[in-house]
Amino acid sequence: ARHFLARMRQHEALGAFLSVDEEATLAQARAADALLARGQAPALAGVPIAHKDIFVTRDWPTTAASKMLEGYRSPFDATVVSRLKDAGAVCLGKLNCDEFAMGSANRNSAYQPALNPWNTQRVPGGSSGGSAAAVAAGLAPAATGTDTGGSIRQPASFCGITGIKPTYGRASRYGMIAFASSLDQAGPMARTAEDCALLLTHMCGPDVEHDSTSLDMPAEDFTQSLGAPLKGLRIGIPKEFFGDGLADGVRQALNAALKEFERQGAALVPVSLPRTELAIPVYYIIAPAEASSNLSRYDGVKFGHRAKDYADLEDMYKRTRAEGFGPEVKRRIMIGAYVLSHGYYDAYYLQAQKVRRMIADDFQQAFRDCDLIAGPVAPTTAWALGAHQDPLADYLADIYTLPASLAGLPAMSVPAGFGAHGLPVGLQLIGNYLQEARLLNVAHRFQ
Ligand code: GLN
């Protein structure tokens, strides 16, 4: 813990952390030492890990990178946080991200942008940009992230680390600040698939009392099948994932990775996900719709920011929300309120729900011919800090991560070499429901 705390201080300029409390970290480390001394060490005893500032924590403030929650302290730990703590992990602090996890570059943090450690003129990706930057720079051996539409996979890809979003419902959403509840999932970000398997094992498991969408099935040990040979594995290659929008450098790195799988005895099978492009409008209707509802709780009454001067209750709500939310969050709330409103609900929200179902069905069709799907995580490597001035540019770059999110499938990013400007490229592996162990094994064999 001391080693990582020192590195965190040394590399503060990366903007990876939003809150650090060395005494709180060292107290957890001493508790882990005591367990180790008594020979009762749980699986992760003494393993330092940092949490995305979307997970509520008792011992560190939780802001979701928003002014709305500046200085907020939760009275409880999120289930993912308490599970890791029970397994002996030591918390290093809270990690930067996009405000309420809305973004693809960590530029929407209300506090500071996080930078890409490979090139500090580049974005680390988002929304779990602080998590990816911290792991890539060696400020933490592992971190938690959340993925609503790609927020674990895309920053992992941009920073050259490994990250997995499990099947929707595997990890409890209790204490994870809600963005789009039908999509939000927690997952680990670390150097290797092996580390991710170990962490995911301790993050997941039933929590039906606290999260009604938590899968009511026993926790699984995702490290069990690591090492199984790939011979006979059928890897589906969706042609829609390798179209015109893909940068050459990314395509070349992925092709080399796919060759390695073939060399190990896997077969590449062409498949089709015909509604890939529709995932963008569908996601950018459903996610803002759910966000507009979830974020209505920030009204200045119950917790977080409250405007200082106001005339009456209505004015207090308005000023509080005008002051507390950043521009991207406001944009999403307005889009969400619009698509849910009378007269537009059928035209937008209901249509999006129908296409969402079709996207999920397309995956089931593809999985008849293959065991898992491989493709890019993002169309390019990490973009420059000043690029993507138009928010639509960010939305379009989510094209390869959104389909698996809408379908609720497990998906991960595995480092697969380098593309333009010597920046890391991630290979995305998408599995059928509950196939995390297989994904992690395939990634492990590749690493
Ligand atoms: N980039 C997507 C968005 O801005 C995904 C974010 C996420 O997964 N939290 O909504």
Q: What is the pLDDT of residues 247-296, one digit of tens each?
A: 999 999 999 999 999 999 999 999 999 999 999 999 999 999 999 999 99
Residue 389 confidence (pLDDT): 86
Residue 337 falls within a domain, yes or no?
no
Query: Could you tell me if the CB of 401 is within 6 A of ligand 1?
Result: no
pLDDT over 90 (residue 40):
no
- Residue whose structure tokens are 């729900």: 353
Amino acid at position 254, single letter: L
What the block records as the tokens of 79 is 């289930």
Average confidence score pLDDT of the chain: 97
Question: What element of type H or E holds 288?
Answer: helix 279-294
Q: How many domains does the chain have?
A: 1
Residue 43 falls within a domain, yes or no?
yes
**Rg of the chain in Å (alpha carbons):** 21
56-80 per-position pLDDT tens digit: 999 999 999 999 999 999 999 999 9
Residue 119 falls within a domain, yes or no?
yes
Provide the residue range defining the domain that includes 147.
2-203
118-151 per-position pLDDT tens digit: 999 999 999 999 999 999 999 999 999 999 999 9
Residue 102 falls within a domain, yes or no?
yes
Of 153, 390, 398, 399, best ligand 1 pocket probe by most atoms within 8 Å of the beta carbon: 398
pLDDT band at 344 (very low <50, low <70, confident <90, very high): very high
Residue 80 falls within a domain, yes or no?
yes
Residue 186 falls within a domain, yes or no?
yes
- The pLDDT > 90 percentage for the chain reads 98
pLDDT over 90 (residue 52):
yes
385-410 per-position pLDDT tens digit: 999 889 999 999 999 999 999 999 99
Ligand 1 centroid to Cα of residue 134, in Å, is 19
Residue 438 falls within a domain, yes or no?
no
Residue 165 falls within a domain, yes or no?
yes
Strands (E), 303-398: 372-376
Of 54, 100, 127, best ligand 1 pocket probe by most atoms within 8 Å of the beta carbon: 127
Cα distance between the two ends of the chain: 26
CA dist., res. 404 & res. 423, Å (int): 24
The overall pTM is greater than 0.90: yes
| CATH code of the domain in which 179 resides | 3.90.1300.10
CB-based contacts of 3, cutoff 8 Å, min separation 6: none
CA dist., res. 99 & res. 107, Å (int): 9
